[in-house]
A and B are shown apart, each in its own frame.
Chain A
Amino acid sequence: MNNLHDCRKAFARTLLELAEADARVVAVVNDSVGSSNLKEFRKKFPDRLINVGIAEQNMVGIGAGLANGGLMPFVCGASCFLTGRALEQVKVDLGYSRSNVKLCGMSSGVAYGELGPTHHSIEDMAWTRAIANMTVIVPADPAETSAALRAAAAHEGPVFLRLSRMPVPDIHPADYEFRIGRAGRLRDGSDVTLIANGVMVCRALEAAALLEKDGIEAGVLNMSTVRPLDTQAIAEAAMTGPIVTVEEHTVVGGLGSAVAEAVVESHPVRMRRLGFPGEFAPTGSPEFLFEHFGLTPEKIRLAALKVVEESARVICAVDPRG
């Protein structure tokens, strides 16, 4: 992969642009000015950068209060602490209250690598998508990060943006139009559909290219909004064949679960859910962990081949002429 980007740059640039255009925009941080790339924001808008110290419950509550007071806070912190530590505040002060607060979970997934499971945020999609009124977005590249941030600002209500620091290539054009709740079809294919979000989208695209050499036509769906879910796009994918989901998250409750829920209620097909298999990760860099848990293009390819084969066997068993 060439020309890789840290999406936090697009995040910081877009937040600054939003703040320039809208006086309601403020940033709230838990001593995370550096890790959220907000030094420029602080320089330009010192009074609109609110540092609450290392106190995530308070940070989310303060976000709700700032919104009550007429502002539009972007509450930024490492996703593991922002969601896990403050989950009740996310549920009550944001979701239940329908507060106009934008949660920006930085360095989600296993971006912190060797720092270990305390710093991995591989449950945040499951937690946040279970909360009513929440919108949950997992962008895949700089253009989508930027577009998702703008869409979140335009949306009245709580949004969780699950952001990453992991290097990713450009997938979308700069003028890409993002719509909350609409999946992006990045590649057509009639044999199997790979559904991914976040940093796994580029890997799913690479896997699809490998599968083409195997004679398998794999479609790729970018399911960047996990709540509300684009159930129509999922149903359409299921009509064409089996599905493999790929997420930088535990397979319990995240993207794979969300897709499976939609599939069984629309058009049941064979599925494989790739992600972290419901266990805490061993020590290792993000790339090591992706390899270890089968989240590489090659492992995605193998999972797709397997599910295509199983699917064909099932069809043969059902149809004696097959």
Chain B
Amino acid sequence: MRMVAKILRESLLVLVVASLLSTIGGIGFEALKEKFYLLPIILIALPALNDMIGDLGIILSSKFTTIIYLQKKQKMQKKQKKKVSERREIREIIMVVLFVAFVMAIYLFFLSTTLAILTKKHVDLQSAFKTLPLFIVSALFIVFFLSLILTTLGFFVYKKGYDPNNILVPLATALADAFNLLLVCLFVLMF
């Protein structure tokens, strides 16, 4: 039982905080539940969109952490080049992730529209295309916003002596859930 207690002590607080952070978006979802019923494309795409942004947040977190640790290692050997290459590598991975987010948002839109047509008969193509900007804007905006938060926080957490992986990964998925649902709710309100 000592192992069970240890696991609960170390993980429970982070898990509870991450889960509760996700409910922020859920509140908006609950408030607009009748409106969501009329938008089957968004309903079908919502879990996948949340997942995708969360996944990209995890990739950014783990890449940033690796860059920080690698730079620390390199810093001991070549001190001067540190700042330039660190910034360049971070910029590069953000660009890769933004590019994937853009392509995947379009892919998700077409796939969810097809599935909505197959599962629900009353899907109007003209109004379906009005939801395309939501997919692109939420994917690009949140991933960019996450990358800003995660880089800043990553360096801060690292300087405080913690492993950024342990804090950034649950935070990235929770923030992705919260921001994405809030943005989707805002869109549904305007639709």
Tell me whether A and B are bound partners. no
